[in-house]
Amino acid sequence: MNLISRRGAMGGALGLLSAPAILHAQPAGGVKIGLVAVQTGPQAALGSQLRDGFLMGLRHLNGRLGGLTAETVMIDDELKPDVAVTKVRTALERDRCDFIVGVVFSNILQAIIRPVTEANTFLISTNAGPSTFAGRGCNPFFFTTSYNNDQVHSVIGQVCEDQGYKRVFVMVPNYQAGRDAVAGFKSRFKGEVVDEVYVPLTQLDFAAELAKIAAAKPDAIFTFMPGGLGVNLVRQYRQAGLAHIPFLSTFTVDEAVLPAQQDAAVGLFSAASWAPNMDNAANRRFVTDFEAAFNYVPASYAAQAYDGAMLLDSAIRRAGGRLADKDAIRAGLRAADFASVRGNFKFGVNHYPVQDFWLLKVAKRADGKFQTETVRKVLENNVDPWAAECRMR
């Protein structure tokens, strides 16, 4: 972990009481990255995935991005938007970060996007990809290496169409991302939605909803239950003997929660643009070295953050290391001239990726660990539905 420097983050409050402002000299030929990853609270596992993925990327790049020595300032958003704003402002104004990278949750992204982009600093989200900034709200200083949330949910809608499911039961948490999930799913699913159930984000027990599912006898269920919600749901789904109903999900069974779901999740479906078993040279190197370094299976949070490091490296290199030349950096980022662990990867006009989406299935590996594996490609070179509204040139 000697890649992380806390020097920049020190000083702060105590320095404020004793000494006058500390001067932060820009290290000659260096580049400073503010890495936003949640480290407190129940979702910290996702933040750790993101952080480790980015650090893995740096390690493969020998600690340099585009030839410049990289210094990482860790920012824990605590999953509180106002805390995130304060900390990110500090990273920009005091630590003079050249890039802000990371962000697991879209509500944090919404909170920090204005302070970052108004400071003419590039914000590279490696996970959150809300629709707000994909269409009319697209931004010349904002890129995402993940996807637009709607795309992932629409993959399941497409799968249900392909499989000929007529009646699908939908269950999501009652918050913005949950409502977006339903909209994304319905954008491609034309059959009957038997029931839409919205559960509170603090839901522990799904017994009431499972009884509803059993009563509705659907052809399949579509659900989006991130983090601990998914752990509870998957195990209770199995316990209730409902596993014969196809379980199609997004962000519900992934490598971040599989260690807790274990056998209960085997055979359940998910959708994503990446899986650990994807067969390309960049991915094999990433997964092998990641597992060796951190001793757990990487999830998409890690893979996309790894791609984020590679993207930065390629962009800075193309711009000849001139960080102040924002147009050159932007051109370098748009080119996306790096070998993605997803294979096929380029940016659309709105700086959201144009990529393939896959149907995944949870499997138990020979070494007893669990991972998602590709079943088939569902959407190819998919452009998110909002890109057309983006007026950016």
Partner 1 sequence: MPRLRLDVALTLLVLAALALAPLLGFGANHYLTLFARIMILAAAAVSLSFLVGGAGLASLGHAAAMGVGAYAVAILDAHRLTDITIVLPVAIVAAALFSLLTGAIAIRTEGVNFIMITLAFGQMAFFTASSLAPYGGDDGYTLYDRTEIFGLRLMENRLFFHYLCLGFLLFCWGFCAMLLASRFGRVLRAARENPLRVQAVGFAPYPFRLLAYVIAGTLAGLAGVLFANATEFVAPAYMGWQRSGELIFMVILGGLGRLSGAILGAVLFVLLETWLPNLTTHWKMIFGPLLILAVLFMRGGLIGFLGARRG
Partner 2 sequence: MSTGLFLVQALNGLQLGILLFLVAAGLTLVFGVMDFINLAHGVQYMLGAYLGAALAAATGSFWLGLLWALPAALIFGLLLEVLVFRHLYDRDHLSQVLATFGVILFLNQAVKAIWGAAPLQVPVPALLEDGVVLMPGLQYPLYRIAVLCAGIATALGLWFLVERTRLGMLVRAGATNAPMVSALGVDIRRLFMLVFAFGAMLAGFAGVLAGPIFSVEPGMGDHVLILAFVVIVIGGIGSIRGAFIAALIVGLTDTLGKSLMPDLMRLFLDPSAARQTGAALASMLVYIAMAAILAFRPRGLFPARSG
Whole-number Å distance between alpha carbons of 363 and 8: 42
Residues 151-190 that bind partner 2 (CB under 8 A): 174, 179
198 binds partner 2 (CB under 8 A): yes
> Pick from 174, 239, 288, 381: which binds partner 1 (CB under 8 A)?
174
Taking alpha carbons only, the member of 56, 21, 60 closest to residue 35 is 56
- Which residue among 9, 214, 328, 363 contacts partner 2 (CB under 8 A)? 214
Look at strands 353-364 and 370-382 and give their pairing: antiparallel
Rounded Cα gap, residues 346 and 355, in angstroms:
7
> Per CB under 8 A, does 277 bind partner 1?
no
What are 325's two structure tokens?
A: 């030349």
Work out whether 203 is an interface residue with partner 1 (CB under 8 A).
Answer: no
CA distance 325 to 310: 19
Q: Does 192 participate in binding partner 2 (rule CB under 8 A)?
A: no
363: alpha, beta or left, given left = phi > 0 and alpha = psi -120 to 50? beta
**Among residue numbers 7 through 66, which ones bind partner 1 (CB under 8 A)?**
9-10, 12-14, 16-17, 20-21, 39-40
Size of the site for partner 1 (CB under 8 A): 37
Separation of alpha carbons 257 and 125, rounded Å: 21
Outline where DSSP puts E strands in 134-274.
142-144, 167-173, 192-199, 220-224, 247-250, 269-272
Q: Which residue has the tokens 């910290």?
A: 44
Contacts of 67 (CB under 8 A, 6+ apart): 316, 317, 321
Q: Which of 10, 204, 281, 388 binds partner 2 (CB under 8 A)?
A: 204
For residue 21, the partner it binds in partner 1, partner 2, none, with Cβ less than 5 to 8 A by kind, is: partner 1
Instruction: Tell me the two tokens of residue 363.
Output: 């499997």
Let me know if 42 is exposed, middle or buried by CB neighbors in 10 A (0-12, 13-18, 19+): exposed
Binding status of residue 307 toward partner 2 by CB under 8 A: no
User: Which member of 8, 33, 36, 48 binds partner 2 (CB under 8 A)?
Assistant: 48
Which one of partner 1, partner 2, none interacts with residue 223, CB within 5 to 8 A by kind? none
Residue 251 CB, nearest distance to partner 1 (Å)?
15
Residues that bind partner 1 (CB under 8 A): 6, 9-10, 12-14, 16-17, 20-21, 39-40, 76, 80-82, 85-86, 89-90, 92-94, 106-107, 110-111, 113-115, 130, 174-177, 179, 201
Residues that bind partner 2 (CB under 8 A): 41-42, 44-45, 48, 174, 179, 196-200, 202, 204-205, 207-212, 214-215, 217, 228, 231-232, 235-236, 239-242, 256-257, 259-262
